[in-house]
Amino acid sequence: MRFNIFGDTDNPLVDVNLQRGEKIKIESGCMAYMQNINLEGELNSNGERGIGGFFRALGRSLVSGEGLFITTAEGTNENGRIGIAPAVPGVIRKLEVGERQYRLNTGSFLACDDTISYYMKKQEGLGKILFGGTGGIFVMETSGYGDLLINAFGDMVELEVTEDAPLLIDNEHVVAWDTNLDYEIRPASGVIGFKTGEGLVNEFHGEGKVLVQIRNVHNLANSLIPYLPTNTSSSSSD
């Protein structure tokens, strides 16, 4: 994938060049502009076709927050160009998929080479399903090889996990992690974190890396609630 990133780290845009017949997959709805490009969407159904594939894709979309469709951009001549922008302000990072495969949190995927496949993997364990900020019932998992672009809210930090040092991360800050890492979801302390107010965390085990965003969309939304106007109703009589 040949691309340049324009703008500052808070509001970046990726400009991708595609030759005739060259393809990339992009997050649905992220296209800002395009030239000599053809866009085509297909169900995110893990290869299953027909009405069964539709309902499986719809079910995964509802429970994981990922798009119902996968969008493919293809160059129609030697100078194809497409600009893609994430939904939230923050950095964009390239990951090399191949020797390492990744799982992605909801909203982290931006684009990838057509040689990369991704599918929704069902999480095991009731705790991960009920409390998983990392996708709920399903998480996105990669396969194949090539370049993968992910985005975060704010800046992004790469942290290492080792066998003798498990890593605890707040659910809302996890962006992506190595597939060979295992994790469990538990309270940070006390009963659902009430002693510290930190709530639920992901505890990663094994050897690998986790990418963490430094900002939390839900915390931002909650902090704005006191300043939002509220609907008031009044009645009058003649």
pLDDT single digits (tens) 9-35: 889 999 999 999 999 999 988 999 999
Within a domain: 17: yes
Q: Are 56 and 46 a contacting pair, CB within 8 Å?
A: yes
Report how far residue 85's alpha carbon sits from residue 5's, in angstroms, rounded to the nearest whole number.
Answer: 10
Within a domain: 195: yes
Please indicate, yes or no, whether the overall pTM of this predicted structure exceeds 0.75.
yes
Report how far residue 201's alpha carbon sits from residue 172's, in angstroms, rounded to the nearest whole number.
Answer: 9
Within a domain: 45: yes
Tokens standing for residue 74: 């293809």
Within a domain: 230: no
Its domain, for residue 16, covers 2-224
Report the CATH number that the domain containing residue 193 is assigned in CATH.
Answer: 3.60.160.10
Within a domain: 233: no
State the residue for tokens 């997050």: 27
Report how far residue 180's alpha carbon sits from residue 211's, in angstroms, rounded to the nearest whole number.
Answer: 14
pLDDT single digits (tens) 66-116: 555 679 999 999 999 999 999 889 999 999 999 999 999 888 999 999 999
pLDDT single digits (tens) 220-238: 777 888 888 887 654 444 4
Total domains present in the chain: 1
